[in-house]
Structure 1
Amino acid sequence: MALFFSRRTYNAPKKKFTFKPAAKTRYVHITQQSPGGKIRKGSIVKKAKWLDLVRQEGGDSAVLIYVHGFNTSQKDMLDRLGKIETNLRGNGYQGAVVAFDWPSDGSVHTYDSDRSDAKAVAPHLVGDGILPLLGMSPRPKVHLIAHSMGALVVLRAFSDFGDSAGPGNKIWSADQVMFASADIDSEWLEKGAWGDLVLKKRCKRFTNYYSRKDKVLALAGGIVHGGRRRAGRVGMPKLTSKGHWDIFCDHQYQRDVPKGQRKMMKSHRWWFDSGGFYEDLALTIDGHSAKTMPTRHKTDIGDLALLA
């Protein structure tokens, strides 16, 4: 079973979602899939029913929302959602795992249109996902794992809602927020910058997994963004807020990915096949101390390094 909420347009006659942004959010319950996930069957359900299904999957205690990145089709999103859930459960996580499906075209040639669509639909991550989940009783902890351009979706979503948006006009926030290969300006995460401020306000702890081996972000920073360094490749600036953690992942990447497989896209997406990453992710979600996790060690550049 898979649960996600989507801002893609739905083509009812063809019974499939498109690459276009939708005028409404749809809540989806996948109930069957063929081997390999090429064919999936499910239904669009009412929000109340969807929340009940989340609750049945462990959402009484915790919900992890996966926010995918650029160049991700709906099938890709579901494949990775399945990997995330399977591997986290293998590491002891017992909460629900869902996804926010925003309208990426699933093509390397549509970066600009993906970025435009990501910013346009970002508020619905909070308004149609996080806030309804926080409104459940009992109220679960809500965590987010964002990959690549998904980090931009999270920051834009967080910045669009004030304190009164929370259920019962209570101040709302997520618990653990984690970025991997974040395709955002590193400078946005410096203490006092806008990205730092919204994360400080809207989550208990922020963890930025980064790798200097990420060839996609090297290209994005050097060409697409005019030299503005990406947080998922270089980490955060040295002046950061308390509770914001950089995790250096070059060594884990080199351990997990053989030399012959270190191609451009693999360097950006290897997280979804890394047992060490999932082990650390599960400990982070569970609230373990950042400094004492057995999956990490100190580096000579002041960060913590992942090597599980």
Structure 2
Amino acid sequence: MTLFFTRRTYNAAKKKFTNNPAALTRFVQITNGPDSRGRWSGGAISQSDWLREVKHEASSNEITIYVHGFNTDQIDMLRRLDKIKNGLRAQGNRGAVIGYDWPSDGKVFSYDQDRNRVKDTAHFLVSDGILPLLAMSPRPKINLIAHSMGAYVILRGFSNFDDAAGPGASAWRANEVAFLSGDVARNWLGKGAWGALLLSHRARRFTNYYSEGDRVLPISAFTDGFRKRVGRDGLPSITEKTHFDVNATPQYLRDVPPGKRSKARSHRWWFDSSTLYADIAQTFAGQAPGSLATRQDLGEDDLALIS
């Protein structure tokens, strides 16, 4: 079974979701698929039924939300969500793994349009996903995995809500947040910068996985005043104390043969890396950054992902 919530419109005549923004959030349960043609069975259910299914899906009090990136249609999102779910389970993670499906246009030339759609829909990640999940009893631990522009979705979503928005008397927060090839400006995540302050306040710990071999993010930097991206260049030298950088370049070079290091593969190889899933599973389990068997210490507090 696959569970996600989406802000894409639904075309009833064609019985499929489109890439256009919707006026409401739909909560979806897939019972079979998607197959090789992208077909699946299931459909939208009520939010209360969906929350109950999420709770039943978990064998632990933990829920991980995958937030996809730019140029991602719904079928690509579902296939990557499935890889994340299977990858984490193979490493012993027993929590539910679900997806937030924001309405990316699914086209490589729609970068600016996708960023504008993030601005319009990122807050639904929190209002219709994170906060209702945190209101469940017992309160679960919420982890977030964002790929590419999904990192921008998380920052924009977090910025729209104050402490009083969540359930209970204390400030609401996620447990772990992980960025893969995060498509956000590097200087947003230096100590004291707005993105770093948001993540410090809204998550117990933040891990930034980056790869210097990423050939897509320099294009994003070009469209954004040549500002370096955190998913290719890593965090600034001075960071918040609960923020950690993991240089995945050595693992990328090991996982992807020289003849297959295409531009797209350099940005998406994460979804096929068992070493990455092992590292994330241990991180989400609360292990200390320097104690993981999947990492090597390169000196000066620089950790590398390598199997």
Indicate the residue corresponding to 1:189 in structure 2.
Answer: 189
Residue 291 of structure 1 aligns to a residue in which SS? helix
Structure 2 residue aligned with 1:302: 301
* Cα distance per residue 1:45-102 (max 9 Å; x no partner): 0000000000111176000000000000100000000000001000000010000000
**Which residue in 1 is equivalent to 2:241?**
242
Relative to structure 1, the CA distance from residue 123 to residue 34 in structure 2 (aligned partners, 3 Å threshold; closer, same or farther) is closer
For residue 34 of structure 1, report the CA deviation from its aligned partner.
5.5
What is the DSSP-based 3-state SS (H/G/I as helix, E as strand, rest coil) of the residue aligned with 1:7?
strand
Q: Is the 8 A contact 2:173 2:203 kept in 1?
A: yes
Deviation track 1:6-64 (CA, whole Å, cap 9, x = no partner) reads 01111222221111111111100001125436211111000000000001111760000
State the shift of 1:169 in Å. 4.3
1:98 corresponds to 2:128: no
Residues 104-119 of structure 1: pairs in structure 2 closer than 5 A: 104-119=104-119
Q: Which runs of 4+ in 1 moved over 6 A?
A: none
> Pairwise CA RMSD of aligned residues?
1.1
- Structure 1 residue 52 and structure 2 residue 52: aligned? yes
Q: Distance in 1 between matches of 2:153 and 2:214?
A: 20
Alpha-carbon distance in 2 for matches of 1:59, 1:70: 31
- Quote the Cα distance in structure 2 between the aligned partners of 1:194 and 1:59: 35
What amino acid maps onto 1:104 in structure 2?
S
C-alpha distance after superposition, 1:206-258 (max 9, x if no partner): 0000011000002221x211210000000010110001000001100000000
CA contact (8 A) 1:60 1:138 kept: no
Q: Deviations over 1:177-226 (max 9, x none)?
A: 000000000000000000000000000000000011000002221x2112
> Hey, what's the Cα distance between the residues in 1 that align with 2:34 and 2:9?
24
Look up the match of 2:2. 2
Name the CA distance, whole Å, in 2 between partners of 1:270 and 1:9: 29
Check the 8 A contact 1:59/1:140 in 2, yes or no: no
- Distance in 2 (CA, whole Å) between partners of 1:117 and 1:218 is 21
Match of 1:30 in 2: 30
Q: Is the 8 A contact 1:60 1:137 kept in 2?
A: no
Give me the whole-angstrom Cα distance separating, in 2, the residues matched to 1:285 and 1:120. 29
Counterpart AA for 1:130: I
Residue identity in the other structure for 1:5: F
Aligned-residue sequence identity (percent) comes to: 52
Distance 2:46 2:135 in 1: 16
Residue 276 of structure 1 is matched in structure 2 by 275
Superposed displacement of residue 301, structure 1: 5.3
For residue 36 of structure 1, give the secondary structure of its aligned residue in structure 2.
Answer: coil
Rounded to whole Å, the distance in 2 between the matches of 1:33 and 1:81 is 12
Are the aligned partners of 2:190 and 2:235 in contact in 1 as well (CA < 8 Å)?
yes
Letter in 1 for 2:257: P
1:18 aligns with 2:7: no
Amino acid of the structure 2 residue aligned with 1:69? G
The SS at the match of 2:289 is coil
| Counterpart amino acid of residue 145 in structure 1 | I
* SS at 1:206 equivalent: strand
Q: Which runs of 5+ in 1 are unaligned?
A: none
TM superposition shift of 1:302:
3.5
Q: Is the 8 A contact 1:247 1:303 kept in 2?
A: yes
Q: For the residues of structure 1 that align with 2:260 and 2:274, how far apart are their CA atoms?
A: 17
The TM-score normalised by the length of structure 1 is 0.97
Q: Distance in 2 between matches of 1:284 and 1:37?
A: 35
Q: Which residue pairs with 1:262 in the alignment?
A: 261
Letter in 2 for 1:250: T
Structure-2 separation of matches of 1:292 and 1:300: 14
Give the secondary structure class of the aligned counterpart of 1:20: strand
- One-letter code aligned to 1:114: D
**Which residue number corresponds to residue 290 of structure 1?**
289
Tell me if 1:152 matches 2:152.
Answer: yes
Q: Mean Cα displacement is larger for which, 58-67 or 285-294?
A: 58-67
Q: Does 1:226 align with 2:225?
A: yes
The CA distance in 2 between the partners of 1:30 and 1:196, in whole Å, is: 35
CA distance in 2, matches of 1:166, 1:272: 31
In 2, the alpha carbon distance for the partners of 1:203 and 1:68 equals 19
Match of 2:67 in 1: 67
